[in-house]
Amino acid sequence: MLLRLLAAFALGALAACGFAPLDLWPIAFACLIGLFVLLDRARTLRGALIVGWCFGLGHFCIGLNWIATAFTYQAAMPAWLGWIAVFLLSLYLAVYPALATGGAWLIARRRPAALVAGFAGTWVIGELLRASVFTGFAWNPLGVVWLSAALPIARTATMIGTYGLSGLLVLAAGGLWLLIRRDWRAGGAALLPVLLAFVVGLVPATPLPGPQPLLHVVQPNINQAEKWDEAAETTNFARIVRLTGKPGPTARLILWPEVAIPWFLEDDSAARAAIAGLLGPHDLLLTGGEAFQFDAAGNPVTATNSVFGLTPDARLHGRYDKAHLVPYGEYLPMRPLLSRLGLSRLAPGDMDFLPGPGPRDIVLPGLGPVGVQICYEIIFSGHVVDAAHRPLFLFNPSNDAWFGRWGPPQHLAQARLRAIEEGLPIVRATPTGISAVIAADGRLISALPWRQAGAIETRLPPSFSPTLFARGRNVLPFGLAVILALAGLATARRNAKRD
């Protein structure tokens, strides 16, 4: 039993290599096949649950290693605590793969064909729960592996979303496992939806006519230690000014990263005027910043992580407040208890951020509505667009400087899936990378490498008509999960009658 659990842990750890930055997707497929082998050999529900939990533990301990890097920027807590945090978080997140393996075992009762369909369905449900419970942590759903494989199957996210893609990945691995077992009929049946998704993904979408402004995306390469150093404020802003460049004859939409400026634009007319002076007469700016709320005595009591639109006349046009805040990064959960234990936020400052109301557009004069999702928000499939007011594109300013080496490319990959799901281009601006312009079909139009200063200047790619997923959202992958689970249950019952 111990060897089986160690094997499950190792398979989960290796499966994490299928994501960016390694993109070793064949290993991820092979590890899922190995998980089917272990799950098929589980004699009890308890055994199936433990196998799934060990797989998840290994998977998240490796895939989320970038979280440990964040602790190296917080002097109030020792750096080694970061690895403890990764392990403790993985202990919790592993519950969801365990629920998936346990549910699949109950459906299939050790009947291989039923196990494949059932497990694909329960895995989708597990990821939907992981993205929702306790504010959710949707990082690295299995469906991202299709992007690593560079297969057109990823584009079927327009219909079934990212979590549906995860179900297809499990179905593909299960089909291959059945073929290895020489169960040709069941294996072919499992792979048929995957082949259909491959064909559907080859069909191109038709771009919509619309504004295609000249984008100017700035990546100043300001690391986390410099970003919050008050002595470096002038130098940091000078980098941004230099990379913003001089106004030219063509109007630009300039995009700066998350909290790119240290000033409070709503309360500082001089700062607004100074920034507006960088713009040409027809330029527009979207920049990350902070907004404060004050008590009656004029003392700041809370803040929001925000994005502002600014025009050359130094007027603000709209403000978006980040709604899905990062626990421990932007607020400290259970503050009275945890602060007594010596824990604090990973970002500097003791004031917790206040969440915004959810997806809202910033309407820029002469251009139209722009959707905004700040940093971590972009990972939440089905929750990134105001359905009543579809924007021209999504702006995803972020600060990935404290995400280590693995975090930025994983973040980018998940943003690409949001573009596919919604049929909207996405523009990312980050201090240290990876800044990018992403087409509505998920292709990278342009990107700046990690830890390299620079600017992207390119036209906004066109958007597509609202996708099926944009209309139905996560009801669609949930429906797919129910169909797969019922198919597994029906197969199990049919095989039971034959037995």
- Report pLDDT digits (tens) over 150-206: 999 999 999 999 999 999 999 999 999 999 999 999 999 999 999 999 999 999 999
Quick one: pLDDT at residue 341?
46
Q: Which CATH number fits domain 214-464: 3.60.110.10, 3.40.800.10, 2.40.30.10, 3.40.190.10?
A: 3.60.110.10
Residue 404 pLDDT level (bands cut at 50, 70, 90): confident
Average pLDDT, the chain: 90
What is the DSSP code (8-state) at residue 111? -
Quick one: pLDDT at residue 170?
98
State percent of the chain over pLDDT 70.
92
Question: Looking at the annotation, which residues are catalytic?
Answer: 258, 322, 375
Residue 73 pLDDT level (bands cut at 50, 70, 90): low
Quick one: pLDDT at residue 263?
86
**Once rounded to an integer, what is the mean pLDDT over residues 325-339?**
58
State percent of the chain over pLDDT 90.
74
Residue 122 pLDDT level (bands cut at 50, 70, 90): very high
Whole-angstrom CA distances from 444 to 67, 372, 447 are 25, 19, 7
Whether 262 has a pLDDT exceeding 90, the answer reads no
Whether 337 has a pLDDT exceeding 60, the answer reads no
Whole-angstrom CA distances from 276 to 254, 322, 327, 344, 412 are 11, 24, 34, 36, 30
Helices (H) and strands (E) in the chain, counts: 17, 12
First to last CA, the chain: 28
**Once rounded to an integer, what is the mean pLDDT over residues 11-15?**
98
Quick one: pLDDT at residue 78?
67
pLDDT higher at 451 or 349: 451
Whether 499 has a pLDDT exceeding 70, the answer reads no
CA dist 171 and 308 (Å) reads 44
Whether 340 has a pLDDT exceeding 50, the answer reads no
Tokens of 83: 């690895």
pLDDT higher at 26 or 343: 26
Lowest-pLDDT range, 131-145, 333-347, 352-366, 375-389? 333-347
Quick one: pLDDT at residue 75?
54
Whole-angstrom CA distances from 37 to 8, 77, 199, 361, 467 are 10, 42, 29, 48, 37
CATH 3.60.110.10 boundaries in the chain: 214-464
What is the DSSP code (8-state) at residue 292? E
- The per-residue pLDDT for range 451-475, each reduced to its tens digit, is 999 999 999 999 999 999 999 999 9
Strands 426-429 and 394-397: parallel
Tokens of 260: 């790119």
Q: In Å, how far from its chain's centre is CA 124?
A: 16
**Once rounded to an integer, what is the mean pLDDT over residues 299-323?**
90
**Once rounded to an integer, what is the mean pLDDT over residues 435-460?**
97
Whether 50 has a pLDDT exceeding 70, the answer reads yes
Whether 345 has a pLDDT exceeding 50, the answer reads no
pLDDT higher at 293 or 447: 447
Count Cβ atoms within 10 A of the Cβ of residue 267 and give its class: 0-12 exposed, 13-18 middle, 19 or more buried: exposed
**Once rounded to an integer, what is the mean pLDDT over residues 370-396?**
95
Quick one: pLDDT at residue 5?
87
Helix, coil or strand: residue 293: strand
**Once rounded to an integer, what is the mean pLDDT over residues 200-227?**
91
